[in-house]
């Protein structure tokens, strides 16, 4: 076996092999189907944002970089009206490059009565700024290579790492700071893997495919970056399972009864999966954190850093990267909120409350991480053999 990654994922409760087999056999297929359902594929996002740190310099090279918004007619009717209607047919495609689509901004109060707006102390975005938000069909805007690079992209990663989550020195005892770094690094690995797995190999023929060299150069040759990807996956998975009661009862109603029932049933399969419960019942143990005397202070400090990272996403100079950056940071912020901001055991009167968008971000983030793990698991032996030849 030429695998480099074996044993327990650092700071987690499961090993690499278990994560791979569980992901390949159960989680990946489930999540892939779940994110195509109408509830999970429309993400509400503020894409025209003023960067609070630097003027936006839009460094996008490809036309593919821009996000295609949802035309109003593609939207689930129930998102607009409270009456039951079925989804329009799938051949209504999004028109690329079109101006801001007209979206009924009042739909949240009309259609999503079960979903409330509650602040997330870990993130920066204000979900109530409705008139600046738009809906994006995530299925039509996959995260992949966009050509966004150079000083603009570098500046973002540098600001995130140097100011908000510096790499911990080996022997660092503050578990919480380590975790923030590992979550960001794991997300970074996942973004790089997606760039590598869907790369523009030849511009003239518009040939897209896998770029194994890029995957190796940016992620696979660094065991800690791979480890952080697995860590982040387990961390988010734990957040999803911890929120079981909430997610099980949430409203996945978009007006398309068949699809909505499918979403609900897939969520249940995910939450009550016997294979998951048998193989990795506690993917991450959050109970060990914030224990010392300085716990509350430390939490506030780390929360502030994470909110900063969330604000930095407004400075990502490529629209599609910004879309996925915002979604995945919101997903991480939601996982942090579930694991660290709600203590329903000690405070049963303050149960967990999530926004619809948080649930969508959480599940889509888990799916993206699951895709990255599948990619790593599939190609590691072949990459190692290929790279030996260089």
Q: Minimum CB separation from ligand FAD for residue 24, in Å?
A: 22
Exactly one of 143, 253, 319, 371 binds ligand FAD (CB under 6 A); that residue is 143
Q: Measured between alpha carbons, how far is 204 from 17 in angstroms, rounded to an integer?
A: 40
CA proximity to 353, closest of 365, 344, 345:
344
228 vs 256, beta carbon nearer ligand FAD = 228
**244 touching ligand FAD, by CB under 6 A:** no
Catalytic residues: 318, 321
Greatest pairwise CA separation for the chain in angstroms: 62
Residues β-bridged to residue 136: 43, 69
Q: For ligand FAD, how many residues bind (rule: CB under 6 A)?
A: 22
5 vs 252, beta carbon nearer ligand FAD = 5
- On whether the CB atoms of residues 85 and 78 are closer than 8 A, the answer is yes
111 vs 200, beta carbon nearer ligand FAD = 200
- Report residue 159 as tokens: 């600001």
Q: Measured between alpha carbons, how far is 290 from 288 in angstroms, rounded to an integer?
A: 7
262 vs 322, beta carbon nearer ligand FAD = 322
Exactly one of 280, 321, 359, 383 binds ligand FAD (CB under 6 A); that residue is 321
- On whether the CB atoms of residues 284 and 178 are closer than 8 A, the answer is no
**368 touching ligand FAD, by CB under 6 A:** no
Residue with tokens 């896998």: 210
**226 touching ligand FAD, by CB under 6 A:** no
- On whether the CB atoms of residues 366 and 19 are closer than 8 A, the answer is no
Exactly one of 34, 136, 191, 237 binds ligand FAD (CB under 6 A); that residue is 191
> Within positions 202 to 221, which residues make up the interface with ligand FAD, using CB under 6 A?
218
CA proximity to 371, closest of 23, 21, 10:
23
Is 158 exposed, middle or buried, given 0-12, 13-18 or 19+ CB atoms closer than 10 A? exposed
CA proximity to 270, closest of 32, 14, 9, 16:
32
Annotate 101-137 with b (16+ C-beta within 10 A) or e (fewer): bebeeebbeebbeebeeeebebbbbebeebeebbbbb
**372 touching ligand FAD, by CB under 6 A:** no
218 vs 307, beta carbon nearer ligand FAD = 218
User: Is 152 annotated to bind ligand?
Assistant: no
User: Is 194 annotated to bind ligand?
Assistant: no
Contact stretch for ligand FAD (CB under 6 A) within 68-76, 100-108, 240-248, 316-324: 316-324
Distances (CA, A) of 112 to 42, 109, 133, 246, 349: 13, 6, 16, 16, 23
Exactly one of 66, 124, 192, 254 binds ligand FAD (CB under 6 A); that residue is 192
Contact stretch for ligand FAD (CB under 6 A) within 1-9, 127-135, 153-161, 258-266: 153-161
User: Is 185 annotated to bind ligand?
Assistant: yes
User: Is 290 annotated to bind ligand?
Assistant: no
Beta carbons within 10 angstroms of residue 323's beta carbon: 22
User: Is 115 annotated to bind ligand?
Assistant: no
**60 touching ligand FAD, by CB under 6 A:** no
Torsion angle, CA of 140/48/114/78, rounded to 10 degrees?
A: -50
Q: Measured between alpha carbons, how far is 41 from 36 in angstroms, rounded to an integer?
A: 6
User: Is 146 annotated to bind ligand?
Assistant: yes
**156 touching ligand FAD, by CB under 6 A:** yes
189 vs 364, beta carbon nearer ligand FAD = 189
**363 touching ligand FAD, by CB under 6 A:** no
Q: Measured between alpha carbons, how far is 390 from 388 in angstroms, rounded to an integer?
A: 6
List, as residue ranges, the binding site.
144, 146, 157, 185, 188, 218
List, as residue ranges, the binding site for FAD.
144, 146, 157, 185, 188, 218
Residues at the contact surface with ligand FAD, assessed by CB under 6 A: 143, 145-146, 148-149, 153-154, 156-157, 185, 188-189, 191-192, 195, 218, 225, 316, 320-321, 324-325
């Amino acid at each position: 076996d030429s695998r480099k990654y074996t044993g327990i994922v650092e700071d987690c409760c499961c090993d690499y092999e278990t994560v791979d087999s569980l992901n390949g056999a159960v989680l990946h297929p489930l999540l892939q189907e779940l994110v195509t359902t109408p509830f999970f594929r429309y993400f509400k996002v503020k894409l025209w944002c003023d960067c609070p740190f630097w003027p936006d310099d839009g460094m996008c090279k490809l036309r593919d970089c821009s996000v295609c918004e949802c035309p109003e007619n593609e939207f689930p009717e129930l998102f607009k009206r409270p009456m039951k209607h079925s989804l329009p047919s799938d051949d209504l495609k999004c028109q690329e490059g079109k101006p801001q689509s007209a979206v009924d901004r009042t739909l949240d109060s009309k259609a999503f009565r079960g979903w409330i707006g509650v602040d997330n102390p870990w993130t920066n975005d204000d979900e109530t700024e409705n008139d600046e938000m738009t809906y994006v069909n995530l299925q039509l805007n996959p995260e992949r290579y966009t050509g966004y690079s150079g000083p603009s992209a570098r500046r973002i990663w540098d600001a995130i790492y140097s100011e908000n989550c510096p790499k911990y020195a080996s022997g660092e005892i503050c578990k919480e700071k380590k975790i923030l770094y590992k979550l960001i690094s794991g997300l970074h690995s996942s973004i790089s893997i997606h760039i590598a797995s869907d790369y523009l190999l030849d511009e003239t023929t518009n040939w897209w495919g896998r770029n194994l060299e890029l995957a190796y150069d940016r992620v696979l040759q660094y065991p800690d970056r791979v480890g952080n990807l697995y860590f982040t996956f387990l961390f988010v998975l734990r957040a999803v399972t911890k929120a079981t009661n909430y997610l099980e009862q949430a409203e996945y109603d978009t007006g398309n009864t068949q699809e909505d029932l499918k979403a609900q049933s897939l969520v249940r399969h995910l939450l009550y999966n016997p294979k998951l419960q048998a193989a990795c019942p506690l993917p991450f143990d959050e109970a060990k954190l914030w224990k010392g005397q300085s716990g509350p202070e430390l939490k506030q400090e780390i929360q502030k850093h994470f909110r900063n990272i969330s604000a930095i996403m407004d400075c990502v100079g490529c629209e599609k990267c910004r879309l996925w950056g915002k979604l995945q940071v919101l997903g991480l912020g939601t996982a942090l909120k579930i694991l660290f901001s709600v203590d329903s055991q000690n405070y049963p009167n303050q149960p967990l409350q999530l926004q619809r968008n948080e649930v969508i971000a959480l599940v889509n983030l888990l799916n993206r991480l699951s895709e990255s793990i599948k990619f790593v698991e599939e190609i590691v032996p072949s990459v190692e053999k290929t790279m030996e030849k260089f």
